[in-house]
Structure 1
Amino acid sequence: MLQELSIKNFAIIDELTVSIEEGLTVLTGETGAGKSIIIDAVHLLVGGRGSSEFVRHGEKKAEIEGLFTLEDEKHPCYKKAEEFGIEVEEGMIILRRDISAQGKSVCRINGKLVTIAILRELGSTLIDIHGQHEHQELMNETLHLTLLDQFASVQLKTSLQNYREVYKEFEAVQGRLKKYNENEQEMAHRLDLIQFQLSEIENASLVPGEDESLIDEKNKLMNFEKLFQSLQNCYNSIQGEGRGLDWTGLAMSHIEGAAEIDSKYAGLMEAVSNSFYLLEEAAGTVRSELDELEFEPDRLNVIEGRLNEINTLKRKYGSSIEEILEYSSAIEEEIETVTNKDTLIHDLEKKLQSLEKDLYLEAEQLSSIRKKAAKRLTAKIHEQLKELYMDKTTFEVRFVQEPSKSGQFKYRKDGADQIEFYISPNPGEPLKPLSKVASGGELSRVMLALKTIFSKHQGITSIIFDEVDTGVSGRVAQAIAEKIYQVSVNSQVMCISHLPQVAAMADSHLYIAKKSTRGRTSTSVTSLKVEEKIREIGRMISGVEITDLTREHAKELLSLAESIKSK
């Protein structure tokens, strides 16, 4: 729900902060006091079109901020936030939008800068704003299928999941088949190319790790003279008269003499002896290495050539020999596939036919569930319309299944059904698409009937009705008040209204007033207590003068409202 709304330097609003309660909040006040301006601010907060005209005269920017709390862990807002990399802590979402005097907008969600498009997409999961003549979500025929599915809920979930699994496989096979049936010349060129590439890789006879071994060998050959000199100096330092081995042998003789006199030197004698023999063995090894060392300038040329060949293949097919060999395996498989294309196409066509049969059955099952749900929905909407004194109105959910080229249905990710809500407000008139209903009053009541039902399934945090009760009175006004309250049972509702019947149903009542200070006009918001609420409802009934009779009438409306709400 929208917990707190802060507005600064917006139109005639100087600065105000409004706390919004659960249930039904009604905003009332004189015409021009700024009620709709508050709704405009909320509309901008969730991604509506901005303009420099919204910035209060003489100020640099307008600031709007709203705190939303999410009680349901499965609320669609979480998924959207994750999609855009926005962290949601403790179920709180803070939307902020600044509009400069030049008309530029800066949008933030939980402190993160976002585009208006992202703000709008996430905001649509939080607030649904309905004006008298606006075609909102319920008026958008492309969303009617989604609304019906939400209404069908549990019964539809398993069937839709089964359909989507088959559809996913069907779409994949269809894509592969389309690929193989495309331009023959292009595929022939592709085959020539990958056959050449495979031949080039195979002729190179690559061995994993070969390049690293060649680089080591190249390094040795390029530093041959330094290597030879180092080994020679090492050998000369160990072997020869008066060199390391001679002195170690002399040390061994002396320590042996000491050990013969005192046995405690036996360990030391063994250590010196071991050193002598190890040094002697090392000298032999160095000598053997020197004898085997041979400079091969031709070998260096061979290595350079091989490394150049490997590096050329790396530039074409992968950053390492392992990647080149993996690419080789992949194109070898592709060559096998392309050369056996006719057989593969035949197999894919058979598989596609089999999947289309399965998809047809799943789509029929899905459509059957939807049609049953549509009957239940139609009955419920007729009940709602009857309560709104539109018992002569006819509502219908129309199904269309577009045929495919094969004569079966044209399948989509949600089935083969396309639906649209149709309505006829008056007997004898043909059914028309809901979006074509002309009368504002009729549209408001139809929308309320639909919203009463769908608000239980949509998961929208807050719903705003902006003077949807305009143009009605009497028993219809009372029916609309009760419907708006019914919607507020499942969703937080804010409603701008001029009807005392609607104001009486409010869980919280905000009075919007306009005042002038030092030649500047500003808007204020006051949360009304019981006596103040009676006075305001009395004003809405009688106009300017509030008599004892209008006060009694206001009390009677409040009493009636409490009686209805308690049921």
Structure 2
Amino acid sequence: MLSQLSINNYALINHLSIDFSNGLSIITGETGAGKSILLGALGLVLGNRADLSSLKDTSQKCIVEAKLAITNYNLQDFFEEVDLDYEAETIIRREILPSGKSRAFVNDTPVTLSVLNELRTKLIDVHSQHQTMQLSDTSFQFAIIDALAQNQEKIASYKSGFTQLNVLKKQLEVLETQQKEANQQYDYNLHLFTELEKANIKKEEQDELEEKLEKLNNIEHIKLNLSEALEISINEEIGIQNLLYSLETKLTKIAPFSKEYQEVLARITSVKIEVDDIVTELENANETVEFHPNEAEEINDRLQVLYNLQKKHYVNSNEELLAVLEQLSEKVRQVESAEEEIENKKKEIHAVAEKLDNIAHLISNARKKAIPHLTKELQNLLADLGMQNARFSIKVKPTIIYFSNGKDELEFLFAANKGGNFGELKKVASGGELSRIMLSVKKVLSENTQLPTIIFDEIDTGVSGEVSNKIAAIMQNMSKNMQVIAITHLPQIAAKGNSHYKVYKEEVKGVTTTNLKQLTTEERVVEIAEMLSGKNISDSALIHAKELLN
């Protein structure tokens, strides 16, 4: 419920703060007094777009703040979902800075306009004259029927599955596109993959082969140097081995005389052992070094295979070739396993679609059962509102198409006069008739949905006399379960409010401003009398006003 609205520096309003009560609140005022400004400010705080033209004083910021009592509306889960602090008295604030920047807050936490718009649908329904065109909107017509059919939970479950179905269909589309593209390259990729796989490439193979080939290509030089190295090592006269043996013998003779000699002897012995080991390795190397022309040719051939493959795939190493092999393997695998993946995805889609079909069937049946009750209730309400011959023809037609709210198409037709043909509302109903139909619809919705506040902006357009009393009675009845605020120009409706507010303009120091005030009982008599007879209030108008209020 809207408990307070504060407006600062908006349009013609300097500062305004007004408290609202539950029940039926009436707002009246002369044409041009600023009733639309009030709705504009309320729309702003509820998430409408704003610009600098909203500022009365463009050097100061505009602030609109609404306090709402929301204890009984089960909004805790929504607040938690959008990460907001839940307060029984929630405060929504909207600011427009002189720079044109706009900010919004819920309980002092910054929020986006999308969150604000989502919250407004749970708090306030503002109905203005142009919104009667909603009646011709299929989504709105379904919303009326589904409210009576108590389809909310079923539709929420359906929408969850509908989203999942669309995701799966998109995934299937991607898979099929990928398969189509992959199929076009499959034969070539398979050829490349097979060629690389048969090459049996090893990561370190190239380095090893290049080193081995280098050795084979220099075998004579290696053999010569190994032979000369052995000659230097083992020659009987000048060989390193014999010289070390001689040196060891000499030092062995004098080692007993000094620790210093013993240490030198130990070092010579160590060197001799190392040289002996080197000589052994040189002898082994010399014996195994042989030139094999066939082996060099085989290595050359193998390296050429690797070089050609690297050139073909624009890489520089076996490691990169192995990466290419892995990529080709994945491409080939995708094509070969795509059919299975696609088939599995189709099975998933079928399973989800089957569940959706069941839910859609329940939704459709509930709609069909609700339609006779809705038709009867709307026709009865309209008869009270002076449209005794109004008739509705509402038909739900199941289809094979998945819509966002089920699998039905809706035919929602109307005839205003006896013997008249049924047609679309926007084509066969006048503006006044549309207003009365919308009021009837809102009455039905108010009994079947939980909405804290509804605001009617001159929904009484085009009616008078007894019909206006009936409209007032419907609003009064609605206000027993919810807060109703009605902007009206009819005294019959104005007199039925639990509280009454007047919008008026005044000029101060040559500047026009809009204000709003709550009227006392005496002020209400004068206001309603003025609505009956104009500025020159007659005694009979005052008497009539008092009768209406009583």
CA distance in 1, matches of 2:488, 2:438: 16
Task: For 1:427 and 1:84, locate their aligned partners in 2 and report how far apart those are by CA, in whole Å.
Answer: 51
- 1:70/1:461 contact within 8 Å kept: yes
Quickly say closer, same or farther: Cα 1:2–1:437, change in 2 above 3 A: farther
CA offset digits 1:345-404 (Å, max 9, x no partner)? 5566577667656654543333122111122111111111111111212223343444xx
Number of the residue aligned with 2:66: 66
Identity of aligned residues (%): 34
Residue 543 of structure 1 is matched in structure 2 by: 534
Amino acid in the other structure paired with 1:87: D
Q: CA deviation at 1:542?
A: 1.8
CA shift digits 1:160-211 (9 cap, x unpaired): 5776687677667656655554442445679979x99xx9xxx99xxxxxxx
In structure 2, relative to structure 1, the CA distance for the partners of 1:487 and 1:335 (3 Å cut) is farther
- 2:547 counterpart (547, 556, 564): 556
Q: Aligned to 1:43, what secondary structure does the other structure show?
A: helix
Q: Is the 1:423–1:432 Cα contact (8 Å) retained in structure 2?
A: yes
Report whether the alignment pairs 1:144 with 2:141: yes
SS of 2:514's equivalent?
strand
- Name the SS of the counterpart of 1:129 in structure 2: strand
Matched, 1:521 2:512: yes
> Is 1:122 aligned with 2:119?
yes
Q: Give yes or no for the alignment of 1:107 onto 2:104.
A: yes
Aligned CA distance change for structure 1 residues 59 and 26 (closer, same or farther; 3 Å) = farther
Match in the other structure for 2:7: 7
Instruction: Name which of 376, 381, 385 aligns with 1:379.
Output: 376
Q: Secondary structure of 2:122's partner? A: coil
Letter in 1 for 2:149: A
Residue 448 of structure 2 is matched in structure 1 by 457
Alpha-carbon separation, structure 2, partners of 1:107 and 1:48: 11
Q: Which among 390, 394, 398 is matched to residue 391 of structure 2?
A: 394
Shift of 1:339: 4.0
* Residues 1:470 and 2:468 are matched in the alignment: no
In structure 2, what is the Cα distance between the partners aligned to 1:414 and 1:348?
Answer: 24
Q: Which of 82, 85, 102 is matched with 1:84 structurally?
A: 82
Residue identity opposite 2:126 in structure 1: I
Q: Is the 8 A contact 1:25 1:508 kept in 2?
A: yes
Matched, 1:184 2:179: yes
Contact 1:140 1:435 (8 Å CA) reproduced: no
Give a deviation string over 1:476-511, Cα, whole Å, max 9, x none.
111121122223223211111111111111011112
Give the C-alpha shift of residue 338 in structure 1. 6.4
In 1, Cα distance between equivalents of 2:139 and 2:428: 17
* Alignment partner, residue 44 of structure 2: 44
Does structure 1 residue 364 correspond to structure 2 residue 355? Answer: no
Aligned-pair Cα RMSD in Å: 4.0
Query: Which deviations, in whole Å up to 9, do the C-alpha atoms of 1:526-556 show, x marking residues without a partner?
Result: 2222222222222211222333322322222
Paired with 1:57 and 1:531, the residues of 2 have a C-alpha distance of: 35
Q: What TM-score do the two structures reach when normalised by structure 2?
A: 0.67
The alignment partner of 2:392 has SS state of: strand
Q: Kindly indicate whether the alpha-carbon contact (under 8 Å) linking 2:62 and 2:97 is maintained by their aligned counterparts in 1.
A: yes
- Taking the aligned partners of 1:345 and 1:104, their CA distance within structure 2 comes to 49
- Flag the 1:391–1:190 CA change in 2: closer, same or farther, 3 A: farther
Kindly tell me: are residues 52 and 340 of structure 1, through their superposed partners in 2, closer, same or farther at Cα, counting changes over 3 Å?
Answer: closer
Alignment check: 8 A CA contact 1:437 1:443 kept:
no
User: Is the CA contact 1:46–1:124 (under 8 Å) kept in the aligned structure 2?
Assistant: no
Aligned to 2:405: 414
Hey, what does 1:22 align to over in structure 2?
22
1:58 Cα deviation (Å)? 6.2
In the other structure, the counterpart of 1:289 is: none
**For 1:434 and 1:49, how far apart are their aligned partners in 2?**
30
Distance 1:441 1:351 in 2: 51
Is the Cα–Cα contact under 8 Å of residues 27 and 502 in structure 2 kept in the other structure? yes
Corresponding letter in the other structure for 2:442: K
Q: Which residue of 1 aligns with 2:416?
A: 425
Deviations 1:292-351 (A, max 9, x none): xxxxxxxxxxxxxxxxxxxx99xx9xxxxxxxxxxx9xxx99998964554665566577
Question: Conserved in 2, the CA contact under 8 Å of 1:145 and 1:420?
Answer: no
Distance 1:393 1:339, change over 3 A: same
Q: CA deviation at 1:49?
A: 3.4
SS at match of 2:15: strand
Q: Which runs of 5+ in 1 are unaligned?
A: 205-311, 317-327, 403-408, 560-567
Partner SS state of residue 544, structure 2: helix
For 1:138-217, list aligned pairs within 5 A. Answer: 138=135, 140-153=137-150, 156=151, 178=173, 180-187=175-182
Stretch deviating more after TM superposition (333-342 or 479-488): 333-342
Query: 140-149 or 62-71, which moves further after superposition?
Result: 140-149
| Distance in 1 (alpha carbons) for counterparts of 2:351 and 2:121 | 40
Q: May I ask how many residue pairs the two structures share in their alignment?
A: 428
TM-score by length of 1: 0.65
